[in-house]
């Protein structure tokens, strides 16, 4: 059995997939850990197979191509279903594995036999920073020392899974799946929590199942398991002006889906006081996010909002009103500055 399966649900963005696979190849050269790369292509129009073929000599690749676009949620599940590793790691096709990542994970795993779930910090890397490098990118040539980390929590330690649900560790509460490595057998045991009809809706983020299937599975399968927080990043994740389909949906994700993530954890045993604390934090940009959605109703996900569940029930949290006041004062100050600049 392979120790680790790196699972890549992909759709187009072939230039990023090339960079991703090259980074895995480089990391594999520094580790003897048994590894496979599982790629599920969601019926791309770009020539994905030709890129994959370039890495088959260096990497053990398991490849699937869907006959049609089955939606992002189903493709995530497919990328894991074709994996045979003891641990699975779902990453985006634009994520870069650092050169020492596999070696570090292998060493940790040998020491931490009772850990079933790893949260691995990451570097934010702007697309503008890498776009002028020769492709595929050699990760060894990137100076990552000054880049911002995804999480500001700086202590690597063992902890219970629900201790990871903390804004100090993850401000979006594990919604970014590329930060998490998990024991695959527990994922397989909990796959039945997914609503097959909902996850098959190909409209992006139209429901919770096709937005965060991993959260539903993890919250059931790992709620009583041991985890480990890795503070020193294992990946660099590309941000900025790149080929993303969901940038205009971020306010919706922030104000609607992330609070729903916490609801999912609560239904699987997240302690009440921790839930209230995290939910209050998650709603800190509630008013600005809904303001954006109302201004852009056709492209912002507003049609997916449940008024009772996503708005009325959340009005008890004080951060909503503080964020609204802050947003209002900020807009006033900006307006005054513009008027002042115009006059002078």
For the chain, the C-alpha Rg in angstroms (whole number) is: 21
Please tell me whether residue 158 adopts helix, strand or coil conformation.
strand
Closest by alpha carbon to 52, among 33, 86, 28, 24? 24
**Residue 250 half-sphere exposure toward CB, CA atoms < 13 A:** 10
Q: How far apart are CA 170 and CA 122, in angstroms?
A: 11
- pLDDT of 24-50, one tens digit each? 999 999 999 999 999 999 999 998 999
Do residues 65 and 38 make contact, with C-beta atoms less than 8 angstroms apart?
no
First-last CA distance in the chain: 71
Q: What is the pLDDT of residue 240?
A: 62
308-317 burial: b if 16+ Cβ within 10 Å, else e: eebeeebeeb
Predicted structure pTM score: 0.92
Q: What is the pLDDT of residue 329?
A: 66
Q: What is the mean pLDDT of residues 240-258?
A: 79
- pLDDT of 106-143, one tens digit each? 999 999 999 999 999 999 988 777 777 888 989 998 88
What CATH number does the domain located at 4-245 have? 3.90.550.10
Q: Give the number of other CB atoms < 10 A from CB of residue 205.
A: 20
Q: What is the pLDDT of residue 243?
A: 45
Q: What is the pLDDT of residue 132?
A: 78
Domain residue extents for the chain: 4-245, 264-343
Q: What is the pLDDT of residue 26?
A: 97
Peptide bond before 136: cis, by omega within 30 degrees of 0?
A: yes
Mean pLDDT for all residues in the chain: 92
**Are β-strands 180-183 and 115-126 bridged in parallel, bridged antiparallel, or unpaired?**
antiparallel
Closest by alpha carbon to 40, among 81, 4, 97, 84? 81
Q: How far apart are CA 31 and CA 107, in angstroms?
A: 10
Q: What is the pLDDT of residue 267?
A: 98
Q: What is the mean pLDDT of residues 235-263?
A: 84
Do residues 194 and 77 make contact, with C-beta atoms less than 8 angstroms apart?
yes
Q: What is the mean pLDDT of residues 266-278?
A: 98
Q: What is the pLDDT of residue 147?
A: 87
Q: What is the mean pLDDT of residues 150-156?
A: 95
Q: What is the pLDDT of residue 88?
A: 98
Please tell me whether residue 285 adopts helix, strand or coil conformation.
coil
Q: What is the pLDDT of residue 135?
A: 84
Q: What is the pLDDT of residue 242?
A: 46
Lowest-confidence pick of 54-63, 128-137, 215-224: 128-137
The angle at the Cα of 334, spanning 329 to 340, to the nearest 5 degrees, equals 125
Do residues 316 and 264 make contact, with C-beta atoms less than 8 angstroms apart?
no
Q: How far apart are CA 290 and CA 270, in angstroms?
A: 27
């Amino acid at each position: 059995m392979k120790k680790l399966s790196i699972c890549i649900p992909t759709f187009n963005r072939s230039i990023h997939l090339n960079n991703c696979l090259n980074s895995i190849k480089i990391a594999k050269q520094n580790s003897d850990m048994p590894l496979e790369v599982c790629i599920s292509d969601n019926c791309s129009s770009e020539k994905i197979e030709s890129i994959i073929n370039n890495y088959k000599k260096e990497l053990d690749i398991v490849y699937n191509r869907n006959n049609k676009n089955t939606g992002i949620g189903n493709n995530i599940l497919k990328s894991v279903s074709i994996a045979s590793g003891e641990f699975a790691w779902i990453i985006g096709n634009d994520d870069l594995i650092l050169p020492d990542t596999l070696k570090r994970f292998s060493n940790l795993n040998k020491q931490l036999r009772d850990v079933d779930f790893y949260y691995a910090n990451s570097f934010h890397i702007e697309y503008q920073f890498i776009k002028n490098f020769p492709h595929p990118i050699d990760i060894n040539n990137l100076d990552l020392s000054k880049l911002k980390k995804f999480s500001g929590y700086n202590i690597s330690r063992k902890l219970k899974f629900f201790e990871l649900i903390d804004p100090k560790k993850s401000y979006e509460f594990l919604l970014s799946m590329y930060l998490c490595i998990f024991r695959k057998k527990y994922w397989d045991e909990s796959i039945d929590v997914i609503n097959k009809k909902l996850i098959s809706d190909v409209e992006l983020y139209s429901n919770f199942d096709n937005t965060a299937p991993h959260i539903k599975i993890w919250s059931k399968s790992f709620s009583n398991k041991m985890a480990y927080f890795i503070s020193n990043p294992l990946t660099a994740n590309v941000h900025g002006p790149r080929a993303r389909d969901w940038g205009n949906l971020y306010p919706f994700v922030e104000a609607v889906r992330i609070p729903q993530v916490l609801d999912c954890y609560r239904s699987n045993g997240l302690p009440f006081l921790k839930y209230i604390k995290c939910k209050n934090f998650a709603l800190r940009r509630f008013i600005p996010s809904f303001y954006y959605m109302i201004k852009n109703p056709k492209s912002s996900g507003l049609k997916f909002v449940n008024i009772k569940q996503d708005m009325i029930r959340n009005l008890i949290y004080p951060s909503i009103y503080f964020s609204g006041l802050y947003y209002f004062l900020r807009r006033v100050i900006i307006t005054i500055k513009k008027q002042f600049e115009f006059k002078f």
